[in-house]
């Protein structure tokens, strides 16, 4: 079972989480999600960086995203291992950091209240 912690206030993070849930379901990977604002994520000290608990390790930021991207169908799933290669990692890290710093300005904040206790299904404010 993998567990993903994402920023529940960020529109990009939320839509990405919904996409990853679909990828996991289609690939047969068990995946639970929770928001970084949850008491559990805070107790683990995850702060505001996306975190993925997978196969006995904890991955953060671009490393978490690269692991999740391997679940994707088609081109994204195929290119993810290439992006994780030693030569491309610095470029991926730079791109991730650029989006991370600007995500709220570019994509905005969630307009609905973050649920106090996440449900089994992803919270989507009635739309995807």
24 is a domain residue = yes
For the chain, the domain total comes to 1
pLDDT of residue 120: 46
Residue 114 in 3-state DSSP? coil
| Segment 58-85, tens digit of pLDDT | 999 999 999 999 999 988 888 888 888 8
115 is a domain residue = no
- The DSSP secondary-structure symbol of 84 reads T
Distance CA 66, CA 76 (A): 10
CATH number, domain at 43? Answer: 3.40.30
pLDDT of residue 113: 56
CA dist list (Å): 77 to 30, 42, 69, 86, 99: 17, 30, 6, 18, 20
Domain of residue 52 covers: 2-107
Instruction: Report whether pLDDT(115) > 60.
Output: no
17 is a domain residue = yes
Q: What is the DSSP string of 87-107?
A: TTHHHHHHHHHHHHHHHHHHH
What pTM did the predictor assign? 0.80
63 is a domain residue = yes
Distance CA 92, CA 62 (A): 7
Helices 89-107 and 11-27 cross at an angle (nearest 10°) of 120
Pairing of strands 31-35, 57-60: unpaired
């Amino acid at each position: 079972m993998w567990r993903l912690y994402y920023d529940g206030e960020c529109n990009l993070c939320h839509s990405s989480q919904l996409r990853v849930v679909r990828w996991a379901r289609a690939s047969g990977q068990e995946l639970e999600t929770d928001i970084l604002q949850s008491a559990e994520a805070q107790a683990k000290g995850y702060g505001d960086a996306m975190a993925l608990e997978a196969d006995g390790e904890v991955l953060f930021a671009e490393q978490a995203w690269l692991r999740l991207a391997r679940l994707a169908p088609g081109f994204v799933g195929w290119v993810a291992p290439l992006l994780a290669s030693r030569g491309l990692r610095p470029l991926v890290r730079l791109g991730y950091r650029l989006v991370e710093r600007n995500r709220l300005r570019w994509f905005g904040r969630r307009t609905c209240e973050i649920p106090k206790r996440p449900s089994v299904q992803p919270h989507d404010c009635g739309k995807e």
